[in-house]
Amino acid sequence: MNTTHKITFLILLLLFGCSNTPKLDANKNATDLVILVHGFAKSGRVMKTFAYEFQNAGYQTCVLNYTSLGVSNNALTEQTGMQINSCLTQSENAQNVHFVGHSLGGLLIRHYLQEDHALIDEKRLGRVVMIGTPNHGSKVADHYAEKFWIHWLGEIPLSLTTSERAFSNKLNEPSYNVGVIAGTKGYQWTSKYFDERNDGLVSVDSAKLPLMDDYYEVSFSHHQLRSDPIVTSLVLSYITHGVFVKT
C-alpha cells in the first residue's frame, strides 16, 4: 500500500470507524429499551433520527458506535457484543429490549441473539426490525470482492457477499419477532449488478427472511432507509404494535 492509499485509509477510519462506549438516553419512567445498530463504514450518528423518534415516543434508547473498517469478523462481533451488553448494563429498569438494525447492523443483531440467549431466556426480548439488511448477502459486495484492494478494508466487506463464507450464512434463522423493511429504489451506478429489485446495495429478496413476522417495501435507496420519516414511523409502529403501519 503506497503512502497515498495509507493516508486515505486512515482518513476513512477517522471519519467512519471511531468506536466509543454507547451512551444510554433514558426516559426515567420508560421500561422499554431500543438498541440501535448502524451499518458498515458508518457511525452511531446515522441512527440519531431513529433515536429521537423513539425518545419522543417514551422509549429508552442506546445507539451503538462500532468500528467496521480494517477489523476482523471476530473483532467486530466481540466489539458489538460488548457495546450491546454495555447498553443493557446502563439501563437499570428495562423490562423489554428491542433492536433496530440498518444493513450490517441487522446481521450483528442476529449474531448477538444467536450467541447470547439471556434476553430470550429471561423473556425480555421484545421486537427486532431489520432495515435493508443483506440477510443473504449483497451482489455489490460480490463485485468488489474481486478487487485487489478490498483486503485493505479488513474482513467485513468480504463477509457481506452471497458466497458460502458470508456472515449471513453462518447465522441461524431468527426464532423471535422480526419485522423487515426493504428498499426498492436502486442506484444508477450499481444497477448493472442486479437483475431484481433492490435498494442500490441490497436486493429485496436478500432482505427477506423466511420466518419474518411482518414485511414492508418502501421506494427508497439504501442510505435513505436510515433516516427518512416514513421509515422511522414504520419502525416505531412495528416496535410498538408488532405491525408496520404507514402514518
Check which CATH number belongs to the domain holding 34 and give it. Answer: 3.40.50.1820
Q: In a 10 Å sphere around its CB, with 0-12 CB exposed, 13-18 middle and 19+ buried, how is residue 91 labelled?
A: buried
Total count of domains within the chain: 1
Residue 247 lies in a domain: no
Residue 245 lies in a domain: no
141 pLDDT above the threshold of 80: yes
Segments forming the whole domain that contains residue 43: 3-240
pLDDT at site 2: 45
User: Residue 14 — pLDDT band, cuts 50, 70, 90?
Assistant: very low
**Strands across the sheet containing 125-131:** 23-25, 60-63, 32-37, 96-102, 125-131, 178-183, 214-218
17 pLDDT above the threshold of 70: no
- With H, G, I as helix, E, B as strand and everything else as coil, classify residue 151: helix
Residue 119 lies in a domain: yes
Q: Are 89 and 97 in contact (CB under 8 A)?
A: no
Residue 197 lies in a domain: yes
User: Residue 219 — pLDDT band, cuts 50, 70, 90?
Assistant: very high
CA distance 108 to 237: 22
CA distance 210 to 214: 11
Q: Which amino acid is at 77?
A: T
Q: Which amino acid is at 17?
A: G
pLDDT at site 24: 85
| Residues facing residue 114 across a β-bridge | none
User: Residue 92 — pLDDT band, cuts 50, 70, 90?
Assistant: confident
CA distance 177 to 77: 22
Q: Are 65 and 35 in contact (CB under 8 A)?
A: no
Residue 18 lies in a domain: yes
6 pLDDT above the threshold of 60: no
- What are the backbone dihedrals phi and psi of residue 146, each rounded to the nearest 5 degrees, phi first? -85, -10
Q: Which of 53, 90, 47 is nearest to 66 (CA)?
A: 47
pLDDT at site 13: 40
Q: Which amino acid is at 25?
A: D
pTM: 0.90
Q: Give the model confidence (pLDDT) of 168-179 as tens digits.
A: 999 999 999 999
Quote the percentage of the chain above a pLDDT of 70: 91
| Residues facing residue 101 across a β-bridge | 37, 130
User: Residue 20 — pLDDT band, cuts 50, 70, 90?
Assistant: low
Residue 180 lies in a domain: yes
pLDDT at site 165: 84
Write down the H helix ranges in the chain: 3-16, 48-56, 73-90, 104-115, 118-121, 139-144, 156-159, 204-207, 229-241
In sequence order, what E strands does the chain have? 23-25, 32-37, 60-63, 96-102, 125-131, 178-183, 214-218
31 pLDDT above the threshold of 60: yes
pLDDT at site 26: 74
19 pLDDT above the threshold of 80: no
pLDDT at site 56: 95
Residue 112 lies in a domain: yes
